[in-house]
Chains A and B, each alone.
Chain A
Amino acid sequence: DGGITQSPKYLFRKEGQNVTLSCEQNLNHDAMYWYRQDPGQGLRLIYYSQIVNDFQKGDIAEGYSVSREKKESFPLTVTSAQKNPTAFYLCASNPLGTGDGYTFGSGTRLTVV
């Protein structure tokens, strides 16, 4: 079955270390998105991409970086510049131009100690 795979489910890192979260989809979707969720809060957009080798900043891009070298993959790096990286990270995708059909991964819970 098609879907989005996020790995790992739980991630622990020491403060000051960069960490990369994986997001892979086999839905043939062009658009991919990264969201951050803090406890009891809604989702906020970090980065999004509509095509390979192209991506745009969302509302809270500072301290994060992404790449889109393959259509299927959209990894997110949480850098040491991100002041409060502990959060739940969700990846999503949808077909371009449809306005719906969003699919979400199961998320990665990052804890920085």
Chain B
Amino acid sequence: AQKITQTQPGMFVQEKEAVTLDCTYDTSDPSYGLFWYKQPSSGEMIFLIYQGSYDQQNATEGRYSLNFQKARKSANLVISASQLGDSAMYFCAMREGVRQGAQKLVFGQGTRLTINP
């Protein structure tokens, strides 16, 4: 079963507009973490933002915010005032539990965001 679902294969947005990238997740573990990464054409994975399942407030990092709706199992990324440099693939990822051992990240299929001038 798909644990992370990103339903938007591609998004096209005008520069300076806000954009929301969708992510839904599936887990029965009460403790989990949600991540968003940006992957430019060079291939590196750039960490953007993190939300823990017990965090009371939505995470924010500069122009990035995470719209966390726990009951709906939704963790959408909002980018305000988009810039041309935001054009990239964006991945939502989840890790389940906080235990002693290694904790795997599970990734969605990604959304390709294109910012038009």
Which residues does A use to contact B, with CB under 8 Å?
A: 30-33, 35, 40-45, 48-50, 56, 58, 88, 90, 92, 94, 96-100, 102, 104, 106-107, 109
Contacts and interface: CB of A to CB of B under 8 A. Distances in A.
Nearest to B9: A40
Contacts of B110: 40-42
Contacts of A31: 101-103
Given A41-B109, A42-B109, A99-B33, A109 B104 contact: no
A32 B44 CA distance: 16
Given A41-B109, A102-B35, A50 B102 contact: yes
B98 A97 contact: yes
B45 A90 contact: yes
A107 B43 contact: yes
Contacts of A45: 104-106
Contacts of A107: 43-44
B101 A106 contact: no
Contacts of A90: 43, 45
B108 to A, nearest CB: 5
B12 interface: no
A42 B98 CA distance: 23
B99 interface: yes
